[in-house]
Amino acid sequence: MDINRRDLLISSAGVAAALATTTPLSAQNNPQPASLGLEAAPQPGAGSSDISAYEALKNERKIAVINLSSLEPEAQKILPPYSYAYISGGSGDEWTMRQNETAFNRWVIDPHYLAGVKTPDTATRILGSKLSLPVITAPMGGQGIAHALKELPDVQGTNAAGTLYVNSSVSHMSMEEIAAASRGPKWFQIYFPSNRDYARELLQRAKASGFTAIIVTVDSTTFGNRERTIRLGMPSPNLGRGNGVKTPGINANSIGELKVDLNWEDVAFCQKESGLPVIVKGVLTPGLAAEAVKRGCAGVWVSNHGGRAIDHTAPGISALPEIVQVLGGKALVIMDGGIRRGQDVFLALALGAQAVALGRPVLYGMALGGAQGVESVYARLKTELQMVMQLAGTAAIKDINRNYVRKLEG
Ligand SMILES: Cc1cc2nc3c(=O)[nH]c(=O)nc-3n(C[C@H](O)[C@H](O)[C@H](O)COP(=O)(O)O)c2cc1C
């Protein structure tokens, strides 16, 4: 039987029973196993929490976004508890997650007034793809917990905003469905599985579906300790696996395991089997960045996984400058973590990123307004970026550089 269909047919009676018998304490003794469902809340066989609520989130409308941070409390009002805990949380004490946002406060923008800039242009190009702004949608697994249409509204909203969608290998829709629904640039992110044949299948399917780059996430070969969901004591909803195995002979039971001892040979495997540019995601040190580029990667993605992997790693914006310096313009640098303002985008670009990625705000926008919600989130960010560029005196994205940013003393 098809795994997606079976998983979607979980009955609400089972849900009620699961809810009635689960307590926060029992969940603390029941840590989640490391598997390819890593960032896709649904774990095969884990039962289901409040599936009717998941099915109810079908919003499709423009939303009024005053700023991106204000989306979270609004989304919290409508998301099922597990979804909100899963999306909003980080690992451990969530220090890194908080620092991702507050570390921007260590930098200030130096505006160049009287520069005669009238209408700044936010358009840019990365790896040959034209974007309406230097912000892309970060890979996020299992988006069915935020909207009944799973990844579809995110893909469509990202397209409508004129930017790039990154498909997580643990998406609820298959990469083929996502590619068919997409009319914009798209990359494929892989959590490298322990089964090499399955890894090959994923990479080849991504290429055949028209994805133009592979993102290898290296910071999550095992679970971060996400205490918000553990404390909640609910089983994750089981919404199936989008990218199940297709090649005859590959053991479907094995595909849920991650390759824990990930290494450079696996990165080379991604390059060889896909024939596409490869970007390493989860880079926080100049040494790793330099090695990636030495080994032929097209770029690095400076990220701590939104504070969801190792707590007490550096915020993205703090790790960025040294990485940019060591690469010396030889490769693409993307940065994410805590991007909530046009100012944050401007600072990251001034410190040398060519683009930044947006995580949680996209999912909150999708929960609140589907594709139009995602588009509204991007529209707000673009307006803020245009405002900052106009005031700071940069007419184009290429004009934003180190002369526009300064580190605060102390
Ligand atoms: C709900 C959720 C799911 C995620 N799933 C993935 C994933 O499947 N693959 C991946 O590389 N990163 C994943 N990430 C990390 C994001 O790609 C990104 O690094 C992070 O969310 C950026 O931080 P921000 O949420 O503060 O914008 C996920 C993040 C969230 C919040």
Mean pLDDT on 11-39: 33
Of 218, 226, 305, the one to substitute when testing ligand 1's pocket (max ligand atoms within 8 A of C-beta) is: 305
Active-site residue identified among 112, 172, 305, 312: 305
The DSSP line for 369-398 is HHHHHHHHHHHHHHHHHHHHHHHHT-SBGG
**140 ligand 1 Cβ < 6 A:** yes
> May I ask the CATH class of domain 3-407?
alpha beta
| Ligand 1 close to Cβ of residue 88 (< 6 A) | no
Per-residue pLDDT, 202: 98
Q: Answer yes or no: is the C-beta of 344 below 6 A from any ligand 1 atom.
A: no
Give 186's pLDDT tier (boundaries 50, 70, 90).
very high
Please compute the mean of the pLDDT values over residues 311-330 and round it to a whole number: 98
Task: Render pLDDT for 66-107 as a digit per residue (tens, 0 to 9).
Answer: 999 999 999 999 999 999 999 999 999 999 999 999 999 999
Average pLDDT value for residue range 322-326: 98
Cβ neighbours of 224 (radius 10 Å): 22
Asked if pLDDT for residue 2 goes beyond 50, the answer is no
Least confident residue range of 239-253, 270-284, 382-396: 239-253
Count of positions (residues) in the chain: 410
Q: Quick one: average pLDDT of 135-146? A: 97
User: Which of 36, 39, 94 best tests ligand 1's pocket when mutated (most atoms within 8 Å of CB)?
Assistant: 39
> What pTM, to 2 d.p., does this model score?
0.90
Average pLDDT across the chain, whole number: 88
**Could you tell me if the CB of 359 is within 6 A of ligand 1?**
yes
- Model confidence at 47: pLDDT above 50: no
User: What pLDDT sits at residue 24?
Assistant: 28
Q: Are 178 and 171 in contact (CB under 8 A)?
A: yes
Q: How far is the CA of 39 from the centre of ligand 1 (A)?
A: 8
What confidence category does residue 50 fall into, taking pLDDT thresholds of 50, 70 and 90? low
With a 6 Å cutoff on the Cβ, whether 68 touches ligand 1 is no
Distance CA 254, CA 188 (A): 21
- Atom of ligand 1 lying closest to residue 363 CA: 1
Q: At residue 18, does pLDDT exceed 70?
A: no
* Buried b / exposed e along 7-32 (16+ C-beta atoms within 10 A): beebeeeebeebeeebeeeebeeeeb
- Domains of the chain, by residue range, sit at 3-407
Spatial separation of the C-alpha atoms in residues 97 and 155, rounded to whole Å: 25
Residues 49, 38, 218: CA angle, nearest 5 degrees? 165
Angle of helix 286-294 versus helix 316-327 axis, rounded to 10: 40
Is 305 considered catalytic here? yes
CA nearest ligand 1 atom 5, residue: 140
Mean predicted confidence (pLDDT) in 194-220: 98
Average pLDDT over residues 140-169: 97
Task: Look at residue 252 in the predicted model and tell me its pLDDT.
Answer: 86
**More confident: 256 or 4:** 256
Closest ligand 1 atom to residue 138 Cα is 17
